[in-house]
């Protein structure tokens, strides 16, 4: 799958996740809603693997992106299987620090509006990860709504050819 296509699909899945999440209101999700949220959460992250591979300059930042995806996938599956939100949320916020690092690197590597929106998104994710207990819950929706927008912008900015792996050396 092309990385730009993956970015667009990821954006659509994040929108579907936001819509599904917003239908809950203040009540806990039913079993079916929880499963749908879990599937959308897992899918919206796994589809971004080619995007992480293609976006950004630093290998360590891509490692952060892959780690964020792994952490959020694990926590989505844990939530579906009964892990308490009080246990999931702090772990997810820690993963968002890794997401912010990858997003910042990918955004700085992009041009134009993808750079501006991505840097703002990275800053907001990092801020929210540390301030979540001190800000109203709706503050999370600011970076959450920027994710699909940034993915679309990034998809348009991604190179049309895949990243070439580094040349191997024999060590001689």
Number of H helices, E strands in the chain: 7, 0
pTM, entire model: 0.89
Chain segment 56-66, per-residue pLDDT in tens? 999 999 999 99
Rounded-to-integer distance, Cα 59 and Cα 97, Å:
16
Closest CA to 44 of 97, 84, 8: 8
> For residue 110, what are the CA distances in angstroms to 24, 72, 117, 132?
36, 24, 10, 28
Q: Give 163's pLDDT tier (boundaries 50, 70, 90).
A: low
């Amino acid at each position: 799958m092309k990385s730009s296509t993956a970015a667009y699909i990821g954006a659509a899945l994040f929108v579907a996740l936001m819509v599904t999440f917003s239908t809950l209101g203040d009540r806990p999700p039913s079993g079916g809603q929880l499963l749908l949220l879990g599937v959308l959460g897992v899918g919206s992250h796994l589809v971004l693997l080619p995007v992480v591979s293609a976006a950004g300059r630093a290998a360590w930042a891509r490692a952060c992106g892959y780690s964020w995806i792994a952490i959020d996938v694990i926590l989505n599956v844990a939530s579906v299987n009964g892990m308490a939100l009080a246990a999931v949320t702090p772990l997810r916020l820690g993963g968002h620090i890794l997401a912010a690092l990858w997003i910042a690197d990918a955004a700085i590597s992009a041009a134009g509006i993808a750079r501006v929106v991505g840097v703002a998104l990275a800053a907001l994710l990092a801020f929210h990860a540390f301030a979540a207990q001190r800000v109203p819950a709706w503050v999370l929706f600011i970076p959450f709504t920027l994710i699909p927008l940034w993915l679309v912008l990034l998809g348009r900015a991604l190179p049309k050819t895949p990243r070439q792996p580094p040349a191997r050396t024999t060590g001689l």
